[in-house]
Amino acid sequence: MEDGQYYEAQQGDCISSIAEEHGMSWEAVWRHANNAELRQRRRDPNVLSPGDRVFIPALRAKHESRATEQRHTFRRKGAPAKLRIRFLDADGQPRAGLPYVLNVDGKLTQDRTDSDGCVVASIPPNARKGLVRLRDGDREEICALALGAMDPVGEKTGARKRLENLGYDCGHDDEAFDLALRSFQLDEGLESTGQPDDPTQQALLRRHGC
């Protein structure tokens, strides 16, 4: 049996954050053969559900030969996670060229939204909280980010979060969620059933980006 252990995903976990906590690259975890069923079920390494079992392979020692009495620098392989948030106006057009300040776990980044109205930044794989301050003329808008807290789109919590991120008011009860989902379906040219069926889930993924 392959050396390693299973980890039970918690709310807010994703493959990148889990791998980071265990000193591994996300590819080494996500692409492991023991996670084949998980890949088939979730498909996106950034979207896990609490209770998902993720296999963490054992770390393996790697030996490097180097000359003695010299200083050598070793870098651990790995890549930061990529954050991408798109801002649109009321007509669905990109809000391009707007200055913003991004705060992720206390680290600040200042730039402008790109031609697609996007804030794009590299962030730590295990980042948990973020805040975007967007300046539009004399008005400042604040967008709080719960990083890594996206449930699968097939679950009600996942559909609700995506709808809220897209600007639909889901309220705090089932009736408000139903109305928000129907509004989204009408906007997408889908049958307004109020049910998160497969066409609706695919439209949510396409509009939301994940």
Full pLDDT tens readout for the chain, 210 residues:
468 899 999 887 888 889 888 888 888 999 999 999 999 988 888 888 889 999 999 877 665 666 776 775 655 555 567 788 888 888 878 999 999 999 988 889 999 999 999 998 888 877 778 899 999 999 999 988 877 667 788 888 888 888 887 878 888 889 999 999 999 999 999 999 888 899 999 998 888 877
Report the pLDDT value the prediction gives residue 133, as an integer from 0 to 100.
95
Q: How many domains does the chain have?
A: 3
Q: Is 48 exposed, middle or buried (0-12, 13-18, 19+ CB in 10 A)?
A: buried
Q: Which domain holds residue 53?
A: 4-57
Domain-embedded: residue 64: no
3-state SS, residue 5: strand
Domain-embedded: residue 18: yes
In this structure, the answer to whether residues 132 and 162 fall within a common structural domain is no
Q: Which residue's entry shows tokens 């896990």?
A: 48
3-state SS, residue 158: helix
Domain-embedded: residue 75: no
Query: What phi and psi, each to the nearest 5 degrees, are found at residue 202?
Result: -65, -40
In this structure, the answer to whether residues 91 and 123 fall within a common structural domain is yes
Radius of gyration of the chain measured on its C-alpha atoms:
20
3-state SS, residue 36: helix
CATH number at residue 136: 2.60.40.10
Q: Which residue's entry shows tokens 């004399």?
A: 138
User: From CA 111, how far away is CA 79, in angstroms rounded?
Assistant: 21
Query: What phi and psi, each to the nearest 5 degrees, are found at residue 119?
Result: -100, 120
